Structure 1
Amino acid sequence: MSLTHSVNMNWKLLIGVLAGLLIIGMFSGSSGQQSSSAGQQSQSRALEASNSVEWKKVDFLELELPANIQELRDQVKITSGKAKFFDQEIFYQTGAVPAGVSRSGRTVLLLHGAAFTSQTWIDKVPTLRTLAALGHGVIAIDLPGYGKSSQASVPDNGEFLARLIQSLAGKQPIVVSPSMSGSFIIPMLANPQYRDLISGWVPVAPVSTGLVASFSSQLLTPTLIVVGENDRSLGNRSKEDLKGLPNATLPQVLPGAGHPAYLDQPEMWHKLLHNFIIKVNQANSAQFMEA
């Protein structure tokens, strides 16, 4: 082999290596951009879906609960269990959809206030049974430090809730967050990478709503605002803080109700949830059809 031919071969090999390194660098550089924009793209899709519903114009009492809802509630079988997060055991309860009831494909995650636990949604107001009777998946948890999770402690409330949703609550659940549980859901929603974990939010006079102002324009999740007429503290504050969210409903005020408004107006509360879940599913169906 001649010296000239050998030099040409070496140059070709060097050029090939450099080209390969350049391509790898281009992909590596773009991967970070793709990752950082993934949340924005996901939120854009959420906006497109949510915009198919004019949330502030919806009558969330339009559809009645089924006439046989009590009979269906009685057929719901409740089971319980424990799951580990941050090496801490968290207690949860869930209800099985009765035989013959069509499943909606939507799960609802029930959080609770400081004076309550997952059992509230069974004993004090039949929300767990009602949602299962309507065909929804439903899971109620005892938050860390409360009820049968009283020994649990987590380092980051928002991260904890995100992990729990990903592990227990199915794909894009609707989250009900009364009072104290705002200290879990709002830190989670403040993190852009977690906003797409849920398809709907039902805040019932939660704490920490003042923090929402810093990211309110970016929070595109359909939000059913619920307050009690007589809750003039957290109720009024949360209503004012949340009503400007892009896909928030008009505040749904439960007549004569106090801070845990669902306890004073259970049937109205369940009708609001029933209609809201239907609208969320319609919005997601519209997105699927357009995709």
Structure 2
Amino acid sequence: MVSLSGIDVKFGRIIGAIVLITALIVLYRRYGTGGGQPAIKPESPVITESKPQSDSKFDEVEVTVKEKKCTVTYIRVKPETPDSAKPKVLLLHGKNFNAEIWQEIGTLDKLKESGYEAIAVNLGYREEDQALNEKLKECTGDNEARAEFIHQLVQGLELGKFVLISPSKSGEFSIPYIMKAEYNKELKAFVSIAPSIDVKYTEEDFAKLEDVHILIVSGETDSFGEKSGVYLSKIPNKQQSSIPDAGHVCYKEKPEVWHEKLLTYLGTLFVHQYFLLNCKVHESSEAILSTCERLNMGGNASPGEVTVLDLPVKNVQVSIGSKTCSLTYLEVVPDALTDSKPQLLLLHGARFHASTWNENCGTLAKLKEWGYRAVALDLKPEAPISECTGDENGARAQLIQQIVESLRLTRLVLVSPSKSGEFAIPYIMEPSYREKMAAYIPVAPVIDRTSYSSDAFSKLEGLKALVVQGENDHTIGDASQRVLMKLPSSPQLCVIPKAGHPCYLDNPDFWHEQLKKFLDSL
């Protein structure tokens, strides 16, 4: 006789085993990476899946990884006027999307409009793309293969030195890639958006990536992004940026904020490479340097003759904490100085000196002629100044304030081109300094976006500003303008025609015309 109770027990065990196996298969398909389990994974945020646009067109490229061939589909956009100094941008995508997500939210268009060639590739994560996913898995079964896959893709698409953008699940490709020293040399920069990170990689591994430049982006409410940021923040050359009121797919939830952060980073990151790419000069020759900088940054105007004054070099000492440093400056005082007119403090860019305002463009002579007192401060040599200020924004602001007080500059107008933004921006952010200013004239200044958000500028009530940039300065000029035009007191925008980054040198006549008009209005 057969025991029914025994059958029931066995039958129950069989059913239980089937349920367990089914659950394991589902989990594997959902989270399996083939190269070790992720240390951190998204907590399954609710995502509205992107709908493919009917007008998108996919191209194909074949790559070979470990003697296995696979076909990759992608969308490619190119600017109407290519700029060889700007890197190409490769965009991966997250689990619930495909390459079309970057088209849907406008990222590809924004990059194209800003002069960047961009390529968005399909990784086959969506259910309807499982056929593609299976083919890619044959090529990319582990971390090493996935790193090689990106490398071969870079070669096949002829990207050169490129920018890699990687959100969420695509971290299973991007993180192994940046970890390979022979591959990450291909990178100009890495833009991470809360990527998944394999448990095999430690914080120490990320700390060794000295040659990788990274922008770490995450949504303010994304706990997964916060966890991945713990690892990524160990990379030495980093900038971190949070998108307010956004979750795991922050770039889709707040595309305008995402685009501003991305384009600002790209613009500020490559300004120095822009110089080096096209110009080989002798560091000792200021004349060659100034000409070189004009050519490199897009200027094509021919500066006319300038009036050069015979000015003595003066000294001023400042003390910050226990540190004291001595700075030099040039000064012009008109024959008839009146209290009603503001007084100017002119800073300078990375490759220039205080003398640039006298010898290269004649601005000091013009200011004296118009009846304005002006001081051109020399921020070189950098070493002793750095000993006073370090990398502290507050100390840099304090240095400028001590100069203002020591030289008794009243109704201050601060003129700040390019790299001198490191001093000027912290200065205008301090309310007690800002309230005594007559105006601020930024000329495509460097802005520390890790310390100062767009919202910070939108709160600077009462600060009058003339925002200046060259017509052809599409790197740092465009990036800084997007931020500075958020100043609340109706800033005036001055775009100098036929000029690049040092626009006041490229077209000094137009610069002086606009400068005088603005000063006379104060």
TM over 0.5: yes
Counterpart position of 2:60: 82
Question: Using the alignment, how far apart are the partners of 2:154 and 2:113 within structure 1?
Answer: 22
Of 123, 128, 132, 1:149 maps to: 132
* 1:111 aligned to which of 92, 108, 111: 92
Q: Does 1:207 align with 2:196?
A: yes
Partner of 1:262: 251
Aligned partners of 1:128 and 1:272: how far apart in 2?
15
Runs of at least 5 residues in structure 2 that lack an aligned partner in the other structure: 1-54, 282-522
Q: How does 1:110-129 map to 2 (within 5 A)?
A: 110-123=91-104, 125-129=105-109
**Does residue 1:217 correspond to 2:207, yes or no?**
yes
In the alignment, residue 236 of structure 2 is paired with which amino acid?
A: P
SS at match of 2:160: coil
Counterpart code for 1:119:
E
Corresponding residue for residue 345 of structure 2: none
**Structure-2 residue corresponding to 1:230:** 221
List per-residue Cα deviations over 1:31-83 (Å, max 9, x = no partner).
Answer: xxxxxxxxxxxxxxxxxxxxxxxxxxxxxxxxxxxxxxxxxxxxxx9643111
Q: CA deviation at 1:169?
A: 4.9
Match of 2:120 among 127, 140, 152: 140
Aligned to 2:231: 241
C-alpha contact 2:146 2:177 (8 A) present in aligned 1 = yes
Matches of 1:252 and 1:201 in 2, distance apart?
13
- 2:4 equivalent in structure 1: none
* 1:199 counterpart SS class: strand
CA distance in 2, matches of 1:213, 1:186: 13
- Cα distance in 2 between the residues matched to 1:261 and 1:161: 24
**In structure 2, what residue type is equivalent to 1:240?**
V
| Alpha carbons 2:56, 2:100 under 8 Å: kept | no
Amino acid across the alignment from 1:115: N
Contact 1:107 1:138 in 2 (8 A): yes
Partners of 1:216 and 1:188 in 2: how far apart?
Answer: 12
Percent sequence identity over aligned pairs: 26
TM-score of the aligned structures, taking structure 1 as reference length: 0.66
Measured after TM superposition, the shift of residue 106 of structure 1 is: 1.6
Q: Which amino acid aligns with 1:135?
A: G
Corresponding residue number in structure 2 for 1:95:
77
After TM superposition, list the pairs within 5 Å mapping 1:1-150 onto structure 2.
79-86=57-64, 87-98=69-80, 105-123=86-104, 125-143=105-123, 147=129, 149-150=132-133
**TM-fit CA distance, 1:209:** 6.4
Partner SS, residue 248 of structure 1: strand
Amino acid at match of 2:149: F
Equivalent residues, number: 211
3-state SS, counterpart of residue 109 of structure 1: strand
Structure 2 counterpart of 1:177: 166
1:178, 1:205 within 8 Å by CA — same for their partners in 2? yes
Q: Which residue of 1 aligns with 2:273?
A: 284
Task: State the Cα deviation string for residues 90-118 of structure 1 (Å, max 9, x = none).
Answer: 110011313x6766532110000111110
In 1, the alpha carbon distance for the partners of 2:216 and 2:197 equals 14
Structure 1 unmatched runs, 5+? 1-76
Letter in 2 for 1:108: V
Task: Report the equivalent of 1:198.
Answer: 187
Equivalent-residue separation in structure 1 for 2:184 and 2:82 (angstroms)? 30
Q: Is the 8 A contact 2:62 2:70 kept in 1?
A: yes
CA distance in 2, matches of 1:264, 1:276: 20
Question: Once the two structures are superposed, what CA deviation does each residue of 1:194-232 show, in whole Å capped at 9, x if it has no partner?
Answer: 111110000000001662524223312110010001111
Could you say if the C-alpha distance between residues 101 and 188 of structure 1 is closer, same or farther in structure 2, counting changes exceeding 3 Å?
closer
Give the conservation status (yes or no) of the 8 Å contact 1:108–1:169.
no
Alpha-carbon spacing, 1:169–1:267, altered in 2? closer, same or farther (3 Å): farther
The equivalent residue for 1:32 is: none
CA contact (8 A) 1:96 1:132 kept: yes
Shift of the 127–283 alpha-carbon distance from structure 1 to 2, 3 Å rule, reads: same
**Aligned-residue offset at 1:273:** 1.0
Look up the SS of the partner of 2:151 in the other structure: helix
The answer to which structure has the higher helix fraction is 1
Is the contact between residue 101 and residue 133 of structure 1 (CA under 8 Å) also seen in structure 2? no
* Distance in structure 2 (CA, Å) of the matches to 1:110 and 1:245: 21
- SS of residue paired to 1:223: strand
In 1, are the aligned partners of 2:178 and 2:212 still within 8 Å (CA)? no
Cα RMSD for the two superposed structures: 2.3
Deviation at 1:290, TM superposition (A): 6.8
Q: CA deviation at 1:242?
A: 1.3
- 80 and 225 in structure 1: CA distance in 2 versus 1, 3 angstrom threshold: same
Deviations 1:148-175 (A, max 9, x none): 8334222311110111012215111100
Larger radius of gyration: 2
